[in-house]
Structure 1
Amino acid sequence: MRPKIVLFGDSITEESFGEGGWGASLAHLFARWADVVLRGYSGYNTRWALKTVERAMEGVCPEGSAPPAVVTVFFGANDASLPDRRSGFQHVPLPEYQSNLRTLCVFLKERWSGTGIILITPPPIDEEGRIQNNGDGSGLPERTNESAGAYAKVCKAVAEELGLPVIDIWSIMQGCPNWEKSCLSDGLHFTPYGNKVLYEEVVKKLRDGGLSIGTLPADLPLFSSIDPNDPLKSFSN
């Protein structure tokens, strides 16, 4: 009865249904108009996502139901981990990241040809925050903002190649005042304000694609449309 918006990504997606999360805010916004479906996998990179995407999407659309209206694809923060640091086992080389991201989008399009895809770049990295919250005693961060920026650039390139909308959250967040602490809680994951920044960008992209409360019908009569003199008449069709 309702269109689906699927959120597919790593921990920043998995945590998005937490208090103040960007996914929870989307679910609240579309509460009577669309279902927001969470498919977030903490720690995953594009290599692992590519291996598991078919299983991850099982059950999103039961047989006979409509395909999702939109899928957000938000990977790269873990791919960009430095190979010789603490989180090196999550690292995916830049050329492979580009290929994996492209293949993920092609898979989704082949599965649901009419479904829109929104790519989201990796976020910026507050290296001081990473040392404080995930340090190994070396005084060096396991991720750098420069590396995240390189992966963000490739994500945008894939979006341009495939003709897909993209949210460059790496650049957008760095335009926020004191972004290192206002947007990021531990140098990587989002504060409530960081979640708000991404939420607003996703809403803009959905609106640009024709998906907004103003364009979607409510699946059942709204309370404001029910005739108080004959309430059941509203449910007769």
Structure 2
Amino acid sequence: MVGPQRPLFVLFGSSIVQFSYSEDGWGAMLADIYARKADILLRGYSGWTSRRALQVVDQVFPKDAAIQPSLVIVYFGGNDSMGPHSSGLGPHVPLPEYTENMRRIAIHLKSLSENTRIIFLSCPPVNEKIISERASSYSGIFSHLDRTNEACRRYSEACLEICREMDLKAIDLWTAIQKKDDWLTACFT
């Protein structure tokens, strides 16, 4: 290690975390704001669900690590909330399983250190029209993937409820994004 130890912020989640480092993404903004003050570590996995995250949470956040994160921002739910794929192989995670997975991820993260702060991001809304148009261009290859704003709302509410029960901080993306007048076209889908 070179120089003094700095706080470690970890972004842990699926695509929303991955895209946070795109131009003007929120992860890139955090890295800029905290330059030389904190290390920002990206652990974003494209297409991942809470089920897959639970399988690796011990490896990503080992309890015996010499340095534990000061802050972990967690996002899973967008892929989990998709409807079941006809093959059974899609990313869908049933709501009760998602709830339990998120609870277990939170328990693990809370056990790392009394100084580790945790923020969960709830499932964001989707523009169903754009999702449908994009899916139809693949209709010859894939069966229909069901992604609805209603499902996103249910998963968002489940995430927020877990955070209330466990006294964790949360950002309600589903509600916050829809407060923008142009959210259907300005926000990711």
TM-score, structure 2 normalization:
0.88
Matches within 5 A, 1:145-156: 145-156=149-160
- List alignment gaps of at least 5 residues for structure 1: 188-237
- The structure with the largest helix share of the pair is 1
**Secondary structure of the corresponding residue to residue 157 of structure 1:** helix
Q: Does 1:117 align with 2:121?
A: no
Q: In the TM superposition, what is the alpha-carbon distance from 1:131 to its structure 2 partner?
A: 1.6
- List alignment gaps of at least 5 residues for structure 2: none
CA distance in 2, matches of 1:71, 1:86: 34
Deviations for 1:108-152, whole angstroms, at most 9, x for unmatched residues? Answer: 111223201101001101111112223343996620000000000
Q: In the TM superposition, what is the alpha-carbon distance from 1:95 to its structure 2 partner?
A: 0.7
CA contact 1:81–1:90 (8 Å) conserved in 2: yes
Matches within 5 A, 1:196-215: none
CA distance in 1, matches of 2:89, 2:132: 15
What RMSD in Å do the two structures reach over aligned CA positions? 2.2
Instruction: Give the aligned partner of residue 180 of structure 2.
Output: 176
Whose radius of gyration is greater, 1 or 2? Answer: 1
Aligned residues between the structures: 182
CA contact 1:127–1:141 (8 Å) conserved in 2: no
Matches within 5 A, 1:43-192: 43-57=47-61, 63=66, 65=67, 67-84=68-85, 89-135=90-136, 136-137=138-139, 142-184=146-188, 187=189
Deviations for 1:11-66, whole angstroms, at most 9, x for unmatched residues? Answer: 110121121111011000111211111110111100110001122235x9953x3x
Assess, with a 3 A threshold, how the Cα gap between structure 1 residues 48 and 38 changes in structure 2: closer, same or farther.
Answer: same
**Secondary structure of the corresponding residue to residue 124 of structure 1:** coil
Instruction: Give the aligned partner of residue 229 of structure 1.
Output: none
Matches within 5 A, 1:32-43: 32-43=36-47
The sequence identity of aligned pairs, in percent, is 38
CA distance in 1, matches of 2:89, 2:28: 31
